[in-house]
């Protein structure tokens, strides 16, 4: 009987954590959707073609979410430590202020890290210039596209992942593959092709690294494989 009760309590605990995990994932998705909607409203004009988010934004979001998850799953131990720790008690207000400052700064950085591409200009927003820094298409210095040949841990960069980086004259780089939104929600690969054609007509240097193309994109539909291949082949 005791074994059955223990088993029942264990099952309830497992179910609780499963439901908590599902709830947190749904909360993260909803939060990401809300942030993206607000970013689009604040930073993206009506005449845009595509807008992107910074590559470190997903990493910071995942890191913040992971810290929150660790606290929820270990809150009893953490709260017990806080109650008995003299250091924490002595500097409680300072620690709270530091944590709040960290999350506010991180949230601000993620929110403002947006670039908008239009038919005649590129506008980049960031931590120190939320109002936007405007570039003409003639400010494009080089184009870099291809497939990443290795995975870098704790970053969005995965082996075989497509990238299309626009390098501007001041060294600023924008990866168009980190899509925030597309005009009229069109096919992103078709939009990449159109922008690639527009950019290559500017007679800028374009480098392509498409090693193991067939190996990495075997599961991609032929129509999208053809569009990526078209981008790689479009070199003047």
Domain spans of the chain? 2-233
Confidence band of 223 (pLDDT split at 50, 70, 90): confident
pLDDT higher than 90, residue 51: yes
Half-sphere exposure of 93 (CA within 13 A, CB side): 0
Confidence band of 173 (pLDDT split at 50, 70, 90): very high
Most confident of 16-25, 51-60, 163-172, 182-191: 163-172
- Stretch 66-72: mean pLDDT: 62
Contacts of 70 by beta carbon, 8 Å cutoff, 6+ apart = none
pLDDT higher than 80, residue 30: no
**pLDDT top residue among 67 and 189:** 189
CB distance 142 to 161 below 8 Å: no
pTM: 0.76
Paired strand residues for 208: 145
Q: How far is CA 207 from CA 22, 52, 121, in A?
A: 42, 21, 22
Burial, 7: exposed, middle or buried (Cβ in 10 Å; 0-12, 13-18, 19+)?
A: exposed
CB distance 183 to 50 below 8 Å: yes
d(CA 4, CA 10): 10
pLDDT higher than 90, residue 136: yes
pLDDT higher than 70, residue 208: yes
Contacts of 228 by beta carbon, 8 Å cutoff, 6+ apart = 162, 189, 192, 213, 217, 220
pLDDT higher than 80, residue 64: no
Paired strand residues for 135: 122
């Amino acid at each position: 009987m005791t074994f059955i009760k223990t088993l029942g309590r264990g099952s309830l605990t497992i179910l609780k954590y499963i439901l908590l995990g599902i709830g947190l994932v749904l909360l993260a998705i909803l939060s990401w959707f809300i942030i993206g909607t607000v970013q689009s409203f604040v930073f993206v004009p009506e005449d845009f073609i595509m807008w992107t988010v910074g590559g470190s934004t997903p990493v910071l979001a995942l890191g913040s979410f992971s810290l929150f998850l660790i606290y929820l799953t270990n809150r009893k131990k953490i709260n017990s430590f806080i109650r008995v720790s003299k250091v924490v008690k002595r500097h409680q207000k300072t620690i709270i202020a530091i944590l709040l400052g960290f999350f506010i700064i991180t949230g601000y950085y993620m929110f403002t890290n947006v670039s908008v591409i239009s038919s005649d200009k590129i506008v980049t927003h960031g931590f120190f210039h939320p109002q936007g820094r405007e570039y003409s298409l003639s400010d494009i210095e080089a184009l870099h596209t291809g497939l990443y040949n290795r995975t870098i841990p704790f970053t969005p960069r995965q082996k075989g992942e497509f990238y299309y980086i626009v390098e501007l004259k001041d060294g600023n780089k924008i990866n168009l593959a980190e899509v925030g939104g597309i005009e009229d929600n069109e096919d992103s690969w078709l939009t990449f092709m159109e922008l690639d054609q527009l950019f290559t007509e500017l007679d800028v240097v374009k480098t392509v690294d498409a090693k193991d193309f067939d190996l990495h994109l075997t599961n991609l539909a032929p129509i999208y494989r053809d569009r990526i291949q078209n981008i790689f082949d479009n070199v003047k």
